[in-house]
Amino acid sequence: MIAIIKYNAGNIHSVQNALDRLEYKSVITDDPVTILSAEKVIFPGVGEASSAMKYLIEKELDKTILSITKPILGICLGLQLMCESSEEGNTKCLGIFDAQVKKFPNTKIVPHMGWNSFSEINGVLFRNINVNDDVYFVHSYFAETCRFTTAICNYIQPFSSAIQRDNFYATQFHPEKSADVGEQILKNFLEL
């Protein structure tokens, strides 16, 4: 069973629908026992960093996430909250990845919304994926590249489009909205 963490952030049902299409059973939950007993965990999110972290702390989900030993996949805001800190709301995050989350320079082309390809890919999430494959993004904040970066995209500047450390995986893009490429990336995670 796959646990999808419920934590005051949107896009949870899109992720569950993608898992249904792949024929994986999932549950949306904020119960630590259920999360820790799951085979895999997905930490999705669309929202604002400071309010999302506040909810995680209030429900002690921050401690739960840090205790997970099975594979966990952060998506979009989930990736950002796994970093050290975010400029959005001047937020201290979970600190799993040694990256800072910054706002794209204030231009007419932010948020980064739509399809973009990779400039570099590496790691198990990208099995059967090509560097020029497109994935779908919607974000105004980005994680800097760091020693755990496994994929880089360029939008205004290079940024981490995927990061991995031990059992913690994360994508800035939305695999659940990225057609066949996203489906393959989700399958690669689910088959770990």
Active site residue ranges: 76, 174, 176
Q: Report whether 117 contacts 161 (CB < 8 A).
A: no
* Helical residues (DSSP H) of the chain, grouped into ranges: 12-21, 32-37, 49-58, 61-67, 77-81, 179-190
Tokens standing for residue 141: 């904040």
Q: Report whether 186 contacts 176 (CB < 8 A).
A: yes
Q: Which amino acid is at 104?
A: F
Exposure class string for 49-70: b at 16+ Cβ within 10 A, else e: beebbebbeebebbebbeebee
Residues 6 or more apart whose Cβ sits within 8 Å of residue 88: 48, 49, 50, 80, 101, 103, 141
* Of the candidates 112, 115, 62, 68, the residue with the CA atom closest to the CA atom of residue 91: 62
Residues in the chain: 192
